[in-house]
Amino acid sequence: MHIHIISIVPELLDSPLNHSIMKRAKEKGLLTVTVHHLRKWAVNEYGQVDDYQYGGGAGMVMMCEPLEKAINELQQEKKFDEIIYLTPDGVTLKQQTANRLSLKENLLLICGHYKGIDERIRQHYVTMEISIGDYVLSGGELAAAVLVDTIGRIIPGVLNDETSALTDSFQDQLLAPPVYTRPADYNGWKIPDILLSGDLKKIEEWRHEQALQRTKERRPDLLDE
Ligand code: 6GU
C-alpha cells in the first residue's frame, strides 16, 4: 500500500510513523508513506496556502489552489482509491473502516489546519471525511498518524503472528480479554487457574466470556451495534 499525505507541518508525521510495527511494514515493503509539504504548491513566493474566510470571522481557511495543484500533481502518477480529509466533522473512525481501507492500494490523506480547507475541495476532490473522535486537535496530522497506524498494522503480512490483529479489541465488536505473563504468582497475585489448565478449548471459552463481560461493563454500546 502507498499512502501519500499532504500537510503544512510534515515534521509532526516523522516520528510516529517510523517505529515498531510501522517500521516493520515499511521494511517488509508492504507500506510506503510519503509526506508532501503543501507549501510546495503555495500561491506566491511567501508560501501562502491560506486566506481569510468569506463572510468574516476569526481563523484562516486553506485555499483551493494549492490543494488542487497538489492533488492533481500526485494523481498524475497514480489514481488514488480514496482521497481522505481528516476533520473533526468527518465520520468517526471505526475498526471496520480501517479494515476496509487496509485492502486498498493507494490512499491520499489531507491534513487541515486553522478553520479547515475550502469547502469546494471537499465537494470536488475528497471522497471520505474521517474524524478520530469527539474532540478537537489543532491539526489533522496526529489524526492522520492514527489512521495510518491503525491501517498499517492490519495490512496482510505486517504482523508476524497473523492471528494477533484478529484478536484485538473491537475486531469483532468485543473488547479484548485480560492477559497475563510470567510469573503465575507475583507477590501473591495469582493468575486465573484456567490459564494453567492446558485445556485450550476451555481457555478459549473463558476468554470469550471475559471479553463479553468486559464489553458489557465498559462499552455496552458495542453490543447494540
Ligand atoms: Cl481528523 N482533525 C482535527 N483537527 N481534530 C480532530 C480530528 C481530526 N478528529 C478528532 N479531532
Give residue-wise pLDDT tens across range 49-58: 999 999 999 9
Pocket test for ligand 1, best of 131, 148, 149 (most atoms within 8 A of CB): 131
Ligand 1 atom at shortest distance from the alpha carbon of 112: 4
State the Cα–Cα distance between residues 135 and 89, nearest whole angstrom: 10
Mean pLDDT of the chain: 94
Residue 136 counted as an annotated binding residue: yes
Q: Is the CB of 91 under 6 A from ligand 1?
A: no
DSSP string, 56-68: --SSEEE-HHHHH
Alpha helices in 136-199 (DSSP H): 141-152
Helix (H) or strand (E) holding 98: helix 95-101
Q: Is the CB of 87 under 6 A from ligand 1?
A: yes
Residue type at 32?
A: T
What region, left, alpha or beta, does residue 100 occupy, with left being phi > 0 and alpha being psi -120 to 50 degrees?
alpha
**Topology of the domain comprising 167-224:** Trp Operon Repressor; Chain A (1.10.1270)
The pTM of the full predicted model, rounded to 2 decimals, is 0.94
Query: pLDDT tens across 156-185, in order?
Result: 888 876 556 767 878 788 999 999 999 999
Q: Is the ipTM of this complex over 0.85?
A: yes
What's residue 165's pLDDT? Answer: 74
If you measure from the C-alpha of residue 89 to the centroid of ligand 1, how many angstroms do you get, rounded to a whole number? 8
Q: Which three cell numbers stand for residue 53?
A: 474566510
Q: Is the CB of 38 under 6 A from ligand 1?
A: no
User: Quick check: 30 pLDDT over 80?
Assistant: yes
93, 150 contact by CB (below 8 A) = yes
Residue type at 169?
A: S
Q: Is the CB of 117 under 6 A from ligand 1?
A: no
Q: Is the CB of 158 under 6 A from ligand 1?
A: no
Averaged over 124-148, what is the pLDDT? 97
Q: Where in the chain are the domains?
A: 2-152, 167-224
CATH 3.40.1280.10 at 2-152, yes or no: yes
Residue 35 counted as an annotated binding residue: no
Q: Which three cell numbers stand for residue 187?
A: 507477590
Residue 210 phi, psi dihedral angles, 5° rounding? -60, -40
Task: Tell me the CB-side half-sphere exposure of residue 118, using CA atoms within 13 A.
Answer: 17
Helix (H) or strand (E) holding 148: helix 141-152
